[in-house]
Structure 1
Amino acid sequence: MAKKNQEEIAKETALVLKEINNDNKQNQDSTADADANAADPSSQSSTCAVSNNNEDENDHHPYAFHVSGPRNVSSPSWREIIKSSWKNGNYKRTVIACFIQAVYLLELDRQENKTEENALAPKWWIPFKYKLSQTLIDERDGSIYGAILEWDRSAALADFILIRPSGAPRAVLVLRGTLLKSQTIRRDIQDDLRFLAWESLKGSVRFNGALEALKLIADKYGGGNVCVAGHSLGAGFALQVGKALAKQGVFVETHLFNPPSVSLAMSLKNIGEKAGFAWKRLKSMLPSSNETPAISEVGQNASIPSSGLKNWVPHLYVNNSDYICCYYTDPAGGGNQEVENKENAGPKNGQAAAKLFVLSKGKQKFLEAHGLEQWWGDDLELQQALSNSKLISKQLKSLYTLPAAPKQTQAK
Structure 2
Amino acid sequence: MAKSTAETSEEGHPYAFNVSGPRNLSFPNWKEIIRSSWNDCNYKRTVIACFIQVVYLLELDRQENKTEENGLAPKWWKPFKYKLGHILVDDRDGSIFGAIIEWDRSAALSNFIVMRPSGAPRAVLALRGTLLKSPSMRRDLEDDLRFLAWESLKGSVRFNVALEALKSAVNKFGSCNVCVAGHSLGAGFALQVGKQLAKQGIFVEAHLFNPPSVSLANSIRNVSEKAVFAWKRIRGMLPSNGEIQLNGEDKNAAESKVCAEIKKWVPNLYVNNSDYICCYYTDPAGTAEIAASSVDSSEKMKTKSQGHIPTNLFVMSKGPQKFLEAHGLEQWWSDDMELQEAIHDSKLITRQLKSLYTLPPPSQGNKK
Same fold (TM over 0.5): yes
In structure 2, the residue matched to 1:398 is 355
Find the partner of 1:192 among 94, 119, 144: 144
What CA distance in whole angstroms lies between the structure 2 residues aligned with 1:359 and 1:388? Answer: 18
Aligned-partner SS, 1:271: coil
In structure 1, the residue matched to 2:86 is 134
What CA distance in whole angstroms lies between the structure 1 residues aligned with 2:330 and 2:12? Answer: 17
Say yes or no: does 1:305 pair with 2:239: no
What CA distance in whole angstroms lies between the structure 2 residues aligned with 1:394 and 1:63? Answer: 37
In structure 2, the residue matched to 1:10 is none
The 8 Å contact of residues 305 and 350 in structure 1, kept in 2 or not, is answered as no
Give the AA of the match of 1:191: D
Say yes or no: does 1:330 pair with 2:283: yes
Say yes or no: does 1:205 pair with 2:157: yes
Say yes or no: does 1:249 pair with 2:166: no
The 8 Å contact of residues 306 and 400 in structure 1, kept in 2 or not, is answered as no
RMSD over equivalenced CA pairs, Å? 2.8
In structure 2, the residue matched to 1:54 is 6
Find the partner of 2:210 among 258, 272, 279: 258
The 8 Å contact of residues 235 and 259 in structure 1, kept in 2 or not, is answered as yes
| Structure 2 unmatched runs, 5+ | 237-251, 363-368
TM-score, L = length of structure 1? 0.76
Note the alpha carbon deviations across 1:238-287, whole angstroms, 9 max, x for none: 0000000000000000000000000000000011227779x9xxxxxxxx
1:6-405 matches, cutoff 5 A: 52-273=4-225, 305=256, 307=258, 308-310=260-262, 311-332=264-285, 335-337=287-289, 339=291, 341-342=296-297, 345=301, 348-361=305-318, 364-402=321-359
Give the AA of the match of 1:382: L
The 8 Å contact of residues 191 and 204 in structure 1, kept in 2 or not, is answered as yes
What CA distance in whole angstroms lies between the structure 1 residues aligned with 2:149 and 2:52? Answer: 26
What CA distance in whole angstroms lies between the structure 2 residues aligned with 1:399 and 1:175? Answer: 22
In structure 2, the residue matched to 1:288 is none
How far is 1:363 from its partner? 7.5
Higher Rg = 1
What CA distance in whole angstroms lies between the structure 1 residues aligned with 2:320 and 2:267? Answer: 27
Question: How many residues in Structure 1 have an aligned counterpart in Structure 2?
Answer: 338
Give the AA of the match of 2:26: S
TM-score, L = length of structure 2? 0.85
> CA 1:272 to 1:306, structure 2 compared with 1: closer, same or farther past 3 Å?
farther
Give the AA of the match of 2:357: Y
The 8 Å contact of residues 318 and 337 in structure 2, kept in 1 or not, is answered as no
Aligned-partner SS, 1:145: strand
The 8 Å contact of residues 316 and 357 in structure 1, kept in 2 or not, is answered as yes
What CA distance in whole angstroms lies between the structure 1 residues aligned with 2:341 and 2:58? Answer: 32
Aligned-partner SS, 2:261: coil
Query: Which structure is richer in relative contact order (CA contacts within 8 A, separation 6 or more)?
Result: 2
How far is 1:345 from its partner? 4.8
Identity %: 70
Give the AA of the match of 2:351: K
What CA distance in whole angstroms lies between the structure 2 residues aligned with 1:327 and 1:341? Answer: 26
